[in-house]
Chains A and B, each alone.
Chain A
Amino acid sequence: MLGKAKRTEKPERKKRKSFFGHLGEELVSLSKPSPSKTVCMTIGVIAGAYVMAFAIGVVDLLITDVIRLFL
């Protein structure tokens, strides 16, 4: 009983991911800051920027006054 040789099934070919598929996968696998940390960072950055802006503003006013005295 030699029968027919069994046809072996071809293994399914892996679908090649598109560039955007890879991008999506990368976005999911990223280590992101938690929402609470993001909110804290936002507040910190805005506060830091305004504190620095205020300090620079004060220094600028002083410099303008001093330069006016000389010119």
Chain B
Amino acid sequence: MTMKIRRIKKYGAKKERSLGYKITWTVFLLFLYRVLSHIPLPFVDSSYVKNMLNVNGSLGVFNTLTGGNLANMSVVALGITPYITASIVLQLMGVLIPSLAEMQKDGSTGKKCMNQITIVLSVILGLLQSVFMMMGYGKNGLLSTYAWYTVAICAGLMTVGVFVLAWFGQLIQERFFGNGVSLILTAGILCSFLEDSETFVKALKVTDDVPMTVLYTSFGVLGVAFLFGFSAWLNYCEKRIQVVYSSKVAVNQTEEAVKTSIIPLKLIGGSVVPVIFASTILGLPALIQSFTGTDVKWLWMFNTSHWLSADAPWASIGILFYFALIIWFGYYYQMLNMNEAEIALNLRKHGGVIAGVRPGTDTEKYLHDEMRYLTMLGGIGMCFIAFVPIAANVFFQISSLSFLGTSIIIVVSSLGEIYGQFKAAKRGNQYIKSRKGKKHVRKSKAYREARA
């Protein structure tokens, strides 16, 4: 008996922590992240990177994703981007390596294994990135003393920073509250929100005429509010596919009703992931170029500062590449997360039919088509939001503001996720409380007397 109890304790369900406990630990880990982002790297002159950021627009996008840590050259200068890159690489490799694809779909055990591989790969990528960065920038003035030991110390510290952030992200996701990676990204973006608001208002002050300035500022503020609203609207749009079951449920003693349910398909199913992936991939050529200190002309396509500029109009092709990446990653992510064949099979098993569609292969094809169109629509919406900072850069030179473009999608999706999880956790707590209440009632003397 004792053995059995011990076994249950060892392998049984984990104790569910309270919402307060989870939120407290999440906030504490985010606080530690902010502490780390204030610890500067030794031997480093951060003004060198700040100058580089002014020249290279794509590095600005990269800097936004790292939460401004690249500009400050802190211990976590690379942010959580190596972890994101590692997860992209692993997901793409799932197409080439079948065992990896199986692992991705193998429930919690596979997920655990994938998480460990992602962390290892992110550390390797972080090490490579930091070594190249220190060797490339170090020679040109980033390091006060350019020697093998300064490169090693800085690269080592940056790699440790990558590991710590990746670990924090997974810890928050698995044990605490919310999506760890997007929370760390959001915290990084939000830290420059107040400062950027001021820069934005200053940029809109194009004349000394007060009424005109007020008019411009109002339009600017309304435009940003519209972007937030549009992003939130995109997040909540969904297609509800109605499923009718052959079994009937009793409404009362005489009546019966047809059992129905809904399959909700979100307009942006991948949420913030496609945009993060696209931004990371887009920033890579510019990053490598800046490490090597070269200026290859055709790589201007990947440099956002050259988009829609008069000196190199051909570089604007990069915008199309960026949009294609956003749509493709959205489609790919949706394809990984949704198994139409399995849904169709389950519907058939339980006697469910989508209205007007035959069960089996037809249902599978219908779901696949629906997903394809929805992803395309969501992708177009996201491309519109991503285009705004590019256009704003042409008129006001304010492309790197934290509340324009991809950052808005990240912040809105992350806040939406937090709100959704908070609501779900609260509902769960209420249910547990009500169950406890019922137990209490059952144990009470009055209840037992009434039953007797």
Instruction: Say if the beta carbon of B155 comes within 8 Å of chain A.
Output: no
- Scoring A residues 27 to 67 as 1 if CB is less than 8 Å from chain B, else 0, what string do you get? 10111110001110110111011101110110110011001
For the complex, give the distance between the alpha carbons of A42 and B373 in Å.
26
Given contacts A30-B238, A49-B193, A49-B411, contact A63 B34 (CB under 8 A): yes
Contacts of B411 in A (CB 8 A): 45, 49
Which B residues between 25 and 73 are near A, CB-CB below 8 angstroms?
31, 34-35, 38-39
- A27's closest neighbor in chain B, by CB? B377
Determine if A38 and B229 form an interchain contact, defined as CB atoms under 8 angstroms apart.
Answer: yes
Determine if A42 and B38 form an interchain contact, defined as CB atoms under 8 angstroms apart.
Answer: no
Given contacts A46-B225, A49-B193, A60-B38, contact A23 B376 (CB under 8 A): yes
For the complex, give the distance between the alpha carbons of A59 and B28 in Å.
11
Given contacts A30-B239, A30-B267, contact A48 B194 (CB under 8 A): no
For the complex, give the distance between the alpha carbons of A60 and B187 in Å.
11
Give the number of chain A interface residues (Cβ < 8 Å): 30
- A49's closest neighbor in chain B, by CB? B411
Contacts of B194 in A (CB 8 A): 50, 53-54, 57
Which B residues between 352 and 375 are near A, CB-CB below 8 angstroms?
369-370, 373-374
Instruction: Say if the beta carbon of B232 comes within 8 Å of chain A.
Output: yes
For the complex, give the distance between the alpha carbons of A14 and B239 in Å.
25
Determine if B377 and A26 form an interchain contact, defined as CB atoms under 8 angstroms apart.
Answer: yes
Instruction: Say if the beta carbon of B412 comes within 8 Å of chain A.
Output: yes
- Checking B38, B233, B415 against A63 with a beta-carbon cut-off of 8 angstroms, the contacting residue is B38
Determine if A49 and B415 form an interchain contact, defined as CB atoms under 8 angstroms apart.
Answer: yes
For the complex, give the distance between the alpha carbons of A60 and B403 in Å.
19
For the complex, give the distance between the alpha carbons of A66 and B373 in Å.
53
Contacts of B403 in A (CB 8 A): 49
Contacts of A22 in B (CB 8 A): 369, 373
Contacts of A27 in B (CB 8 A): 377
Determine if A60 and B191 form an interchain contact, defined as CB atoms under 8 angstroms apart.
Answer: yes
Contacts of B228 in A (CB 8 A): 42, 45-46, 49
A-B pairs with beta carbons under 8 Å apart, 16 shown: A22-B373, A26-B239, A27-B377, A29-B239, A30-B267, A32-B237, A38-B236, A45-B415, A48-B415, A49-B193, A49-B228, A50-B193, A52-B186, A56-B187, A56-B190, A63-B38
